[in-house]
Chain A
Amino acid sequence: MINFTFVRTTTAKAAVGLVTKEKNARFIAGGTNLVDLMKRGVTAPERLIDINGVPLKQIELAGDVLHIGALASNSAVAEHELVKLHFPLLSLALQAGASQQLRNVATVGGNMMQRTRCGYFYDTTMPCNKRAPGTGCGAITGYNRMHAIFGTSEQCIAVHPSDMCVGLVALDAMVVLAGPKGERKLKFIDFHKLAGTTPEKDNNLLPGEMIIRLEIPLNKVAANSHYVKVRDRASYAFALVSVAAGLQLQGDKIVDVRLAMGGVAHKPWRLLEAEAFLKGKTATEANFKAAAALVMKNAKAYKENAFKLQMAPNTLIEALNLAKSKA
C-alpha cells in the first residue's frame, strides 16, 4: 500500500475542512472497500481523514421519518428494531450483502460510496475508464457476465454492487450532506449517477461533501415487502440480479408499490414506469408479468450477460409474488 498521512477528527465540520484543504485527501469510515482498493493500487489517497470519531451512529424516529446516521454500521441498521418494523426491505437487503464481519464494520455512508466490483476496474493492468479515464472499457468486449443491462454507456458497463442502496432507492430515502458551503439534501435516487461520459464519477457528491445521514419517510408498503437476490452461491456473493419490492394492498388492489433492481445498472435502478403501471391494478401474476415486460423494454445485453434478460423479469415477478404472499 502506498504511504499516506492520517488524521483523526471528531466533527463533520472539521472533517469537511480537512478534506477540502488537502489535495487527494479522502474520508475513511469502515474502510472495508477503501483499504482493499488501496492495497490493490486502484486508488492512492495521500491523506486519510478518519471520521469514526464523528457522532453519526444514530438510528431514531423523528416524527414520521427515520434518521440513520452515516456511520451506523450495516449490521446495526439491519438488526435495529425500528428498521425491521418499518423498513423490513432495508433490513433484508442489508443482510443479503457481504458477511457479518464486513457488515459489522461497513457503514451506511461507506456502503453508498463503495465502488464497482468490475474485474477491469480492480485489475490495474487492464483498461478501465472508471479507474483511468480515457483508457477504454475492458468489459464491453471482454468478460461481462456480471455487468449492466440498463443505462449503459459506450464508456462503462459496470454495475453498482450495493444491496442496501437498492432497498433505499425503493424507500424514497433522502441523503443529508455536509459540504464547504453547509448542508444540503439530495433525493437518494439522485445520489448515484449513470456512467455516461464520466464513468470515473459514481455519484453526484460535490468536492468536499460528506454524507451525514439518511432520512427515510414511513410508508405503507412495509407489511408486503421483500428483497430477492440471485447470486452464484447461496450467501456472500454479489448480485447477478436483485429486486426490492413493496406493495400496499387493499384486498387484491395495489394502492402503492415500490420497485427497484440491483446488479443491472451503474446505479440502484428504480422501476418507476412499472410502478405507475401497477398502481390501481390487481395484484395478479398477469399484471406482474406485464410490469416486468415494461421494465425489460430498454434492456441491452452484452456477450456474456444475456441471461440477465430472463433472470431480471423472473426475479421481479418472484419478488412481487413473495411480497404479496406476506399478507
Chain B
Amino acid sequence: MSVKEENIPENEGRRDFLKQGTLFTALALTPVSLLKAAEGKADEKFAELFEQVSLRIKVNGVAHELNVEPRVTLLDLLREQLHLTGTKKGCDHGQCGACTVHIDGTRVNSCLQLAVMNEGKEITTIEGLANNDVLHPMQAAFIKHDGFQCGYCTPGQIMSAVACVREGHAGSKGEIREYMSGNICRCGAYPNIVDAIEEVQKSGVQV
C-alpha cells in the first residue's frame, strides 16, 4: 500500500473513487440529450439521468417490488440483483439458450428480455423447479441419462425441456431435436438429453 493511499480515510476514499469511476463510465455511455438535461445540477440529476423504472415481478413464487434501469436484462436482474445464478449467461445474444427461463409458463431467452418489460409477470428459473428437496422429474431424468457433461447449458436445457413436454412438442426423437434446437450443448450431450426428455414424456408424469 502506498503512502498516498494511507492518507485517504479507510474505505471512504476507495468507495468514492469506485463510485465516481462507475459514474463516469456510465456517463460516457449516455446519449448527449440526456447529458444536456443533467448539466448544472449534476448531483441532483444523476438519479433522473439513470432513470429507474418500477417493476413488480414474481420469481419462483416470491413477489419483488424493484426499481431497475431500463437497460437491465431479465437475465442480469435474476443473476446480479436477485442472486439467482442458476440461470446461466452463455452467449448473451439469444443464440445458445443457456439463459432459458419461463415467463408465465412460456420458455424464453432471458438475455433478450428487458426486465422492465415483465411488469406483473411470473418468472420460473431452475431454482424454482424442484419441490424442496425432491427433484423435478426432468432434473431426475437428466441425472439418470447423464444429459450433460460440463453442466453449463443444463439449467437452460432443463427449463426448455420441461416446456417442450408441456407444449406437446416431445412426441418423437425428431420432434424433440427440432423443438430443443434453441439450446446448444458444446459438450455434445444431445443423445442423452433427448433420451431424458423422451422418457419423461412417455412416463406421462405431470411436469
Contact = CB atoms under 8 A, between A and B. Distances in A.
B is bound to A:
yes
Interface of A: 1-6, 8, 23-24, 28, 31-32, 35-36, 38-40, 44, 46, 48, 50, 52, 98-102, 104-105, 234-236
B100 interface: yes
The 6 A-B residue pairs with the shortest CB-CB distance in the complex, in nearest-first order: A99-B182, A6-B70, A235-B181, A236-B181, A1-B71, A46-B31
Contact of B94 (A24, A28, A102, A235): A102
A104 B94 contact: no
A104 B105 CA distance: 11
A151 B116 CA distance: 40
Interface in B1-59: 26, 29-31, 33-34, 49-51, 53
Interface in B133-181: 160, 163-164, 167, 169, 177-179, 181
Nearest to B35: A3
Interface of B: 26, 29-31, 33-34, 49-51, 53, 69-71, 73, 92-94, 97, 100, 106-109, 112-114, 116-117, 119, 160, 163-164, 167, 169, 177-179, 181-183
A202 to B, nearest CB: 20
29 contacts: A3-B31, A3-B49, A4-B70, A4-B71, A5-B51, A5-B70, A6-B114, A28-B114, A31-B114, A35-B112, A35-B113, A36-B93, A36-B94, A38-B71, A44-B31, A46-B33, A46-B34, A100-B164, A100-B179, A101-B94, A101-B100, A101-B107, A101-B108, A104-B107, A234-B177, A234-B178, A234-B181, A235-B177, A236-B181
A39 B92 contact: yes
B33 A2 contact: no
Given A1-B29, A28-B114, A31-B112, 6 more contacts: A1-B71, A2-B30, A3-B70, A46-B34, A101-B107, A104-B107
A32 B112 contact: yes
A46 B34 CA distance: 8
A236 B160 CA distance: 15
Q: Residue among B51, B97, B117 with the most chain A CB within 10 A?
A: B117
A30 to B, nearest CB: 8
Contacts of B73: 35
B181 A23 contact: no
B93 A39 contact: yes
A103 to B, nearest CB: 9
Nearest to B119: A8
Given A100-B169, A102-B94, A3 B112 contact: no
Contacts of A5: 34, 51, 70
A31 B119 CA distance: 15
B29 A105 contact: no
Contact of A36 (B34, B112, B169, B177): B112
Contacts of B113: 31, 35, 105
Contacts of A4: 31, 70-71
Contacts of B26: 3
Contacts of A1: 29, 71
A224 B132 CA distance: 52
Contact of A32 (B30, B70, B94): B94
